[in-house]
Chain A
Amino acid sequence: MNNKISFKELVRELAGRGGISQSLSRRFVQELAQVVQEGLLEDGVVRLSGLGTFKIKVVTERRGRHPRTGAPITIPSRKKVLFKPEKALRELIQIALDTPEKSIRPHTSAPAAKDITPPTTEANPFDAFLNASFIDGALEVEQTEPPYPAPVQPQSQTSVPEPPGAETSASAKPVTRPRRHVREEQKNRKALYWSIVALLIIVLFYGRTLLNEEDQPEIARTLHPEKPVAEQVVSKAPPRVQKEQSKPTRKSARRNLRSHLTRHGESLWRLAVRYYDNGYLWPLIYEANHQKIKNPDFLVKGSTLVIPELEGSVSHPTQSDKETLAAAHIRAYRAYRTKHHEEALNHLKVATRFSVAWIKAHLTEIDPVDRDQLFAESSKFID
């Protein structure tokens, strides 16, 4: 808890988030302080959205006593700067108190287990990421359970009918507080597990049925000729080749469009859902059309986009597919780096799942601060 962050560190982090130089971010913060001072001198009040209001308050003259001699003195009127945090900030801080305290540095914070839907990550790594957080949570609970065995519960029940005063004094004690937190946490975690398990089952089931659908014509083809078993074994190899050949043609027959004219209200996510049945693949379209798309969150109406196709499938990408996916996610990372840093980091993590080699070859595109963090988190880069 209560770490003191040095100005230098602050500047470095700001530079990392904004994708700007450290000298610029240092100047920015310094000038911001300067402008705030000017604003206070000119208007007496400065409102900064995202933080709160700085205001000058005049403290009137009052009579006091000299602390050492006890002689009566008048303390002259002076001005003070008050800071009132805006409501959102106050609530944010309050939430930080209510949720179990972890000394996470915000920059390196792994996405909290609670935000289940970061909208733009690829399906499989995203599942894996969910799994990872799931496992983390499970481990944590296992660790926290032993120190607080079952008999704790009746104790808490007896404490309920106590008068409110006693209750607060109890809650102020450092011992009882963490317990309540742990219990709430466990409850939350359990609910989370079940929802995740249910989600995974649905996803798996859906995936199965999709696979079955694709395999069925193949099975039908092999079964139809009704060849003797021996022959069928021999002829196993050719149909497999045939399958691979027929796959793209079938795909392109079903989704004939390989280019797309954007219309009102369309987004990359929706296009990815339409052409790949998977919204998380939107960076692919973005990568293929990055010259036309300035902002991936906003498509211009009436431009023609290329819809690239994967050589393999989403579940079994080929090597070149992996590279394009990695490249696509790196591009998404760069697009979001200044706007939404956590999102950008998610893209970066997803990219590492596809092709570490590609990222190694393009390290210059990644901001040094993020790169260091990536190295620290991922063991793949150690060698």
Chain B
Amino acid sequence: MTTQEVLKRLSVRLQRSFRETRDIYANCTQLFRDHLKAGNSFTIPNWGTFGTTRRAGRQAYNPHYKKTITLPARQVVVYKNAASLKKAINEARHEQ
């Protein structure tokens, strides 16, 4: 499913124009990004928890060049499913 399809469904459900939905969506993702950038985490019911965490730098080995390389520390986005989402997805499997 693409963003366009998601927006179409949203605009029908919220009874707003597509444009308006798209604007809200842009604000919404911008807000998420800003919070993630600031290192904040947030939970959206029935969806999951978003946050960021630090991956420490480490030594790695490149088998092709037979060299150890240093991987720098990274900041990454973490996402954890909401229990209800996990449940919904796994129950759908049983139905099939």
Contacts and interface: CB of A to CB of B under 8 A. Distances in A.
Contact of A94 (B23, B27, B75): B75
B58 interface: yes
Contact of B89 (A18, A41, A105): A41
A167 B70 contact: yes
Contact of A3 (B14, B41, B45, B48): B41
B80 to A, nearest CB: 9
A33 B46 contact: yes
Interface in B1-45: 1-3, 5-6, 9-10, 13-14, 16, 21, 23-45
Contacts of A158: none
Interface residues on B, range: 35 or more
A115 interface: no
B31 A35 contact: no
A218 to B, nearest CB: 51
Contacts of A93: 36-37, 52, 75-77
Contacts of A40: 85, 89
Contacts of A4: 40-43
Contacts of A7: 42-45
A32 B2 contact: no
A28 B28 CA distance: 9
Contacts of A38: 9
A92 B88 contact: no
A211 interface: no
Given A39-B1, A93-B36, A107-B34, A83 B77 contact: yes
Interface stretch (A44-52, A121-129, A236-244): A44-52
A85 interface: yes
A196 B36 CA distance: 31
Interface string B70-92: 10111111010110011011101
Contacts of A17: 27, 30-31
A50 B31 CA distance: 10
A380 interface: no
Given A35-B9, A41-B89, A79-B90, A47 B51 contact: no
A221 to B, nearest CB: 56
Interface residues on A, range: 35 or more
A165 interface: yes
Interface string A17-57: 11010001101111111111111111101111111100010
A13 B23 CA distance: 15
A31 to B, nearest CB: 5
A25 B24 CA distance: 8
Nearest to B3: A49
B23 A339 contact: yes
A39 B5 contact: yes
A316 to B, nearest CB: 39
B93 interface: yes
Contacts of A167: 70
B77 A14 contact: no
Given A18-B24, A96-B39, A338-B23, A79 B93 contact: yes
A70 interface: no
A78 interface: yes
B57 to A, nearest CB: 5
B71 to A, nearest CB: 9
Interface string B44-74: 1111100110101111000000001010111
A61 B37 CA distance: 37
A2 interface: yes
A247 B78 CA distance: 63
Contact of A81 (B1, B9, B85): B85
A104 interface: yes
Contacts of A31: 10, 13-14
A24 B44 CA distance: 15
A110 interface: no
A220 B31 CA distance: 59
A20 B34 contact: no
Contact of A14 (B6, B31, B57): B31
Give the 3 A-B residue pairs with the shortest CB-CB distance, closest first.
A106-B34, A50-B29, A39-B1
Interface of B: 1-3, 5-6, 9-10, 13-14, 16, 21, 23-48, 51-52, 54, 56-59, 68, 70, 72-77, 79, 81-82, 85-86, 88-90, 92-93
6 contacts: A24-B14, A46-B1, A92-B37, A93-B36, A96-B75, A168-B57
